[in-house]
């Protein structure tokens, strides 16, 4: 899954992506580089970020979604937790809603996915972006993540989303300090054993690896990302969400072959 941020303040990129033509070209390059999915987002949800209005979020992403309609051969997901944004994005051609809140922020988003026949990615987190680290306290981390994701799944299915349209994401970096994120990567099979849904993992360029890579800024963390991606694939992840598609496609394919020969 290629990450397509339509924001002025992405943590992982060195330039603003607010020109729809630039973003559309980037999406087409990702497809050519081997992406299987494109994830379009108009609001940064990194820890500490400030929320964006639905109006501003739509102003950023709708020109991109409309410009990609009929040009991409791969599915597009919209990275949003807002029901109104999700509905407009699905009407504009998206097929998947990627909700970083796991329906904790706007439970009505599940009804939108159900009404429009969309797939739904449910991510584990706690609290809003500006306070999530205060809730990064666990007694049984994988057990708690599993239980909270099962609660998100129950909300989705109660709203009419079929189970086969649901993907789960353990939320690397979301309400998790670095040790928690490494622990999630190391113990993904424990999550797979209690949730029989495809797993999406998104470690790309995140701050949990900052110390391990010598304090390098996000745009210089692709080697560290490659290690995390390999670990995720070997542990059973089905979808990997990344910025550097061309490079990570190679990493994923080789890791898949290793897993297949295990």
- From 254, 250, 259, 241, select the one nearest 12 (Cα to Cα): 241
Q: 2-32 b/e with 16+ CB inside 10 Å = b?
A: bbbbbbeebbbbeeebbebeebbebbeebbe
Q: H-type helices in the chain, by residue range?
A: 20-33, 54-68, 83-91, 109-116, 141-158, 178-186, 188-192, 222-234, 245-261
Number of residues assigned to the chain: 262
Measure the CA–CA gap between 194 and 101, rounded to whole angstroms: 20
Measure the CA–CA gap between 110 and 124, rounded to whole angstroms: 15
37 touches 244 (CB < 8 A): no
Measure the CA–CA gap between 97 and 117, rounded to whole angstroms: 10
- From 92, 90, 168, select the one nearest 123 (Cα to Cα): 168
206 catalytic? Reply is yes
SS3 200: strand
253 catalytic? Reply is no
Q: One of 241, 253, 259, 260 is an active-site residue; which one?
A: 241
SS3 141: helix
Q: One of 82, 165, 176, 206 is an active-site residue; which one?
A: 206
Catalytic residues: 206, 241
């Amino acid at each position: 899954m290629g990450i397509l941020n339509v924001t002025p303040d992405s943590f992982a990129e060195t330039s603003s992506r607010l020109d729809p033509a630039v973003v559309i070209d980037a999406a087409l390059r990702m497809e050519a580089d081997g992406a299987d999915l494109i994830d379009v987002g108009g609001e940064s949800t990194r820890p500490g970020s400030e929320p964006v209005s639905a109006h501003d979020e739509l102003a950023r992403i709708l020109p991109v979604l409309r410009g990609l309609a009929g040009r991409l051969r791969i599915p597009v997901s919209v990275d949003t937790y807002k029901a109104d944004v999700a509905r407009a994005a699905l009407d504009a051609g998206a097929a998947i809603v990627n909700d970083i809140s796991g329906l904790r922020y706007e439970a009505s988003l599940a009804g939108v996915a159900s009404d429009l026949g969309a797939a739904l990615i449910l991510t584990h987190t706690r609290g809003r972006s500006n306070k999530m680290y205060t809730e990064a306290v666990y007694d049984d981390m994988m057990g708690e993540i599993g239980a909270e994701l099962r609660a998100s799944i129950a909300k989705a299915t109660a709203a009419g989303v079929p189970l086969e349209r649901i993907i789960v994401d353990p939320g690397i970096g979301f309400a998790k300090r670095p040790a928690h994120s490494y622990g999630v990567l190391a113990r993904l099979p424990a999550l797979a054993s209690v949730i029989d849904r495809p797993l999406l993992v998104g470690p790309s360029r995140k701050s949990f690896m900052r110390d391990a890579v010598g304090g390098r800024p996000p745009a210089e963390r692709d080697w560290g990302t490659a290690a995390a991606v390999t670990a995720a694939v070997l542990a059973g992840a089905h979808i990997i969400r990344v910025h550097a598609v061309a490079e990570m496609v190679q990493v994923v394919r080789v890791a898949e072959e290793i897993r297949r020969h295990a």
